[in-house]
Amino acid sequence: MSSKSAEPVSASVTFTVNGAVRALDLDLRTTLLDALRESLGLKGTKKGCDHGQCGACTVLVNDVRINACLSLAVMHEGDQIVTIEGIGAPDSLSALQVAFLDRDAFQCGYCTPGQICSATGMLDEAAKGWPSSATEDLTAKTVKLTDAEIRERMSGNICRCSAYPQIVDAIRDVAGAAA
């Protein structure tokens, strides 16, 4: 008979979500998406495909956009996480949220939180000069956000209603204002 010890099935994790330090005891298998939605009640981040294919669950972790459904919550000890609830509030919308409203860049709205989180991260990436497969000048210090560049960078976010032209317009409006 072996004296094999039981493997842990839960762990404590502490991270900062939308500026507030949050400590949770979670099953090791809990995704970041489920921790945000079910444990913290942040329902803005959507569960679409639960396979990393639609982008509805996009959040920012340490200023980098990720699919929360593909990441275990316990991997984010000490991280800074921003969800749609941390991007703007009804009385203080972000520039992207205003542009999405102005350009009617949504229909059903299910993908919108992920689109806005992804666009927020994407604008930061472009400002830092991070190239994509559509970037024409790989030596440039900043990336020119053409429609093709925006579409490529946002390609991980699916809109079932096909509001893509309006989404690109909204992002271009904000990118142009920042330039």
CATH code at position 146:
1.10.150.120
User: Which H or E element spans position 21?
Assistant: strand 20-27
Residues 87 and 135: their CA atoms lie apart, in Å, by 27
Higher-confidence residue: 1 or 65?
A: 65
Number of structural domains, the chain? 2
Q: Amino acid letter at 158?
A: I
Are 19 and 75 contained in the same domain?
A: yes
> What mean pLDDT is predicted for residues 79-84?
98
Out of 55-59, 71-75, 123-127, least confident range: 123-127
| Residue at 141 is within a domain | yes
Domain boundary residue among 67, 87, 107?
Answer: 87
Residue 179's pLDDT is what?
A: 57
Residue 155's pLDDT is what?
A: 96
Return the closest-CA partner of residue 95 out of 127, 65, 120: 120
Are 83 and 57 contained in the same domain?
A: yes
Are 72 and 114 contained in the same domain?
A: no
Residue 19's pLDDT is what?
A: 98
Are 108 and 135 contained in the same domain?
A: yes
- Domain span at residue 49? 10-87
Are 73 and 100 contained in the same domain?
A: no
Rounded to two decimals, what is the model's pTM? 0.92
Are 15 and 82 contained in the same domain?
A: yes
Domain boundary residue among 43, 59, 87?
Answer: 87
Residue 142's pLDDT is what?
A: 81
Residue 1's pLDDT is what?
A: 56
Are 81 and 62 contained in the same domain?
A: yes
What is the end-to-end Cα distance of the chain in Å, rounded?
69
Question: Contact, 68 vs 32, CB < 8 A?
Answer: yes
Are 105 and 174 contained in the same domain?
A: yes
Residue 76 pLDDT level (bands cut at 50, 70, 90): very high
Are 52 and 116 contained in the same domain?
A: no
Domain boundary residue among 57, 87, 117?
Answer: 87
Q: What is the pLDDT of residues 86-97, one digit of tens each?
A: 999 899 999 999
Are 153 and 105 contained in the same domain?
A: yes
- Total residues found in the chain within this entry: 179
Q: What is the pLDDT of residues 37-49, one digit of tens each?
A: 999 999 999 999 9
| Residue at 1 is within a domain | no
| Residue at 109 is within a domain | yes
Higher-confidence residue: 6 or 146?
A: 146
Residue 7's pLDDT is what?
A: 82
Q: pLDDT above 90 covers what percent of the chain?
A: 87
> What mean pLDDT is predicted for residues 167-179?
89
| Residue at 136 is within a domain | yes
Are 99 and 173 contained in the same domain?
A: yes
| Residue at 4 is within a domain | no
Are 99 and 172 contained in the same domain?
A: yes
Question: Contact, 171 vs 100, CB < 8 A?
Answer: no
Residue 100's pLDDT is what?
A: 97
| Residue at 2 is within a domain | no
Spell out where 62-151 has E strands. 64-67, 80-82
Q: What is the pLDDT of residues 110-167, one digit of tens each?
A: 999 999 999 999 999 999 999 999 999 888 888 899 999 999 999 999 999 999 999 9
As given in the structure block, the two tokens for residue 21 are 């330090």
Question: Contact, 116 vs 129, CB < 8 A?
Answer: no
